Amino acid sequence: MTTSDIDDSVGAELNRLRESIDNIDAAVVHMLAERFKCTQQVGHLKAAHHLPPADPARESRQITRLRQLAESAHLDPAFAEKLLNFVVAEVIRHHERIAEESAANGAGGAGV
């Protein structure tokens, strides 16, 4: 059975739900973009003050916090943790690149 074989009312409901999913996906992408704008600023601040790209204590607190938020939102906490770990790994990669660029420029944080 394909979506062209279903009842019109079911098709309409399916389309409505998919439009909602598309809107949510767009919001998630925009929120991630905003988050990365902030973490880029953190990366420049860390580079300017010769701080390490990763902060394991902060990451641990964030995992605990996100797991609690996930539970209260009825979302699998393990999924939330995996998502955060994926995002944090990308943030650390950005911070490492910013630190390398800062060291190469000898500016200690130019572009902050």
pLDDT confidence of residue 106: 80
Residue with tokens 């979302």: 75
pLDDT confidence of residue 88: 96
pLDDT confidence of residue 5: 74
Q: What is the mean pLDDT of each run of 10 residues along the chain (112 residues)?
A: 79 96 98 98 96 96 97 98 97 96 73 42
3-class SS shares of the chain: helix, strand, coil, % to 5? 80, 0, 20
pLDDT confidence of residue 107: 52
The residue among 108, 100, 106, 102 whose CA lies nearest residue 49 is 108
- Tokens for 106? 């000898």
DSSP H/E element including 7 = none
Query: What b/e readout covers 77-89, taking b as 16+ CB neighbours within 10 angstroms?
Result: beebbeebeebbe
Q: How far apart are CA 62 and CA 65, in angstroms?
A: 5
Q: How far apart are CA 73 and CA 78, in angstroms?
A: 13
pTM metric for this prediction: 0.80
- Tokens for 71? 């539970």
Contact 102, 48 (CB under 8 A): yes
